[in-house]
Structure 1
Amino acid sequence: MSDFVNIWKNLDWSVPVQIVVNILPSLLCITLHELSHGYVAYRLGDTTAKDAGRLTLNPIKHIDIMGLLMMVVFRFGWAKPVPVNMYRFKNPKKGMAVTALAGPACNFLLALLFLFLYGLLYYPLYVHGGAVAETVLQLVYTTAYLSLALAVFNLIPIPPLDGSKVLFSFIPDESYFKLMRYERYGMILLLVLVSTKILGGPLSTATSWLFDKLSVFAELGFRLVTHFV
């Protein structure tokens, strides 16, 4: 038994911890992103996502393996798209645009929430905590960054990303439906662009810049805690 305990204590936990720190935030971000799409579509009159069992917090229902891997490796990825029938909306194009915006909006708010939470937890965990406390802080920080990255990525106006659905809602109907036919090809283009510095570099720069500007929410949380210390 003592040998087992010694082996257990000497194990290098850094790699599995890093895997968890990257995967758990990714699952949370993509799950809430897709759930937001489905819920807003439902509120606008489309029950397709609800009927398909996609109005759930179960991440398994929303995972796209390739998109999750891209999220973990490149910090930009996607989930399995929530099914939406735009013809169930009173105004199909407007309904589609609002539904599309729901995902990035949710991720943006989630990023603000976790930045504020990071500020709240930083003093009690980092100053008075140990390795576990640092891991918790890293989880919160990573969730904030990945959520913002997902919001920025999805606002790119290339089909099938959300930004394209918003942009295309301003063009004539005939052109709109023609462009939407090319969604499948857009994903191939995105895979190439994100995995190279053509798009990956500018995306990382934009996300980091915005993240830095929004860090004021972390400072707000930190000041709130230290004010009472």
Structure 2
Amino acid sequence: MTFGNFLAFPLDQLPFIVLVLIISFTVHEFAHAYTAYKFGDPTAKLLGRVTLNPAEHISLIGMIFFVLAGFGWAKPVPVDRSRFRKPRLMGVITTAAGPVSNLVLAFIGVLAVFVVNHFHMLEHSTDGVNSAVYVFLQHFIRTNLILFLFNLIPIPPLDGYRILYDIAPQRAARSLSRYEQWALYIFLLLIFIPPLSRYTLGVLFQLRYPLAEALSWPLSRIYGFDIPWRLLL
């Protein structure tokens, strides 16, 4: 048995995975921190989190877990909603800023694919360079689309739950909080039980294809060709 047997990804693609995760996690957490700071909460700023320095956001254990198990985490950004002028509204925007940042990154990746293809930017490159660029862009787009979808699941500790909590009527929010103690177990079941993950996360992650097509639609009109996302992602 080789070391590669313990990984969730092919060993030769591991450098691309790690680089994509560093970028994606860093921008996601920075988006939370920056938005909270702009809305009047200095907590993240005082902790040095309003920065694009990966060292302030990346969790080494979370990264290792992602490489081994296929999912991981970054350091969560602390947010004091009592500092917001409109706590619920600004809380929703601050929370949503993380997943939305991943959607923006996915669009940047989609744009890069169109630009590279349209201008034949790699036609004089070696096969190795050509392959490396496309593998990186594939992982970059897929990872950010999945992070966007995954974080919108309304289960603690994901962003989707915090958004749901903030937009729900106060009575419903109090009811939700009573079930938070069970949320971790539900979360782990969804991750580690194959039949459950296949029919929940698996189905959810299929949405990355129509999402990629939606992001690329204006670009396909501009550049005059389509990208076969179901083959690439």
Q: Same fold (TM over 0.5)?
A: yes
TM band (smaller chain) = 0.7 to 0.9
Equivalent residue for 1:127?
123
Shift of 1:116: 0.5
Q: 1:115–1:215: 8 Å Cα contact kept in structure 2?
A: yes
Equivalent residue for 1:102?
97
Equivalent residue for 1:7?
none
TM (normalized to structure 1)? 0.78
Which structure has the higher relative contact order (CA within 8 Å, separation 6+)?
Answer: 1
Q: Distance in 2 between matches of 1:137 and 1:25?
A: 13
TM (normalized to structure 2)? 0.77
How many residues end up aligned between the 2 structures?
Answer: 210
Note the residue ranges of structure 1 that are not aligned, 5 or more in a row.
Answer: 1-14, 225-229
RMSD: 2.7
Equivalent residue for 1:8?
none
What is the aligned counterpart of 1:117 among 109, 112, 128? 112
Which 10-residue stretch deviates more, 149-158 or 125-134? 125-134
The code of the aligned residue for 2:207 comes to: A
Q: 1:33–1:103: 8 Å Cα contact kept in structure 2?
A: yes
Note the residue ranges of structure 2 that are not aligned, 5 or more in a row.
Answer: 1-9, 226-233
Where does 1:13-24 land on structure 2 (aligned, <5 Å)? 17-24=12-19
What is the aligned counterpart of 1:80 among 57, 75, 81? 75
Q: 1:30–1:79: 8 Å Cα contact kept in structure 2?
A: yes
Is the aligned partner of 1:176 residue 2:177? Answer: no
Q: 1:70–1:77: 8 Å Cα contact kept in structure 2?
A: yes
Q: Distance in 2 between matches of 1:210 and 1:223?
A: 19
Equivalent residue for 2:210?
209
Q: Distance in 1 between matches of 2:186 and 2:179?
A: 11
Where does 1:59-78 land on structure 2 (aligned, <5 Å)? 59-65=54-60, 67-69=62-64, 71-72=66-67, 76-78=71-73
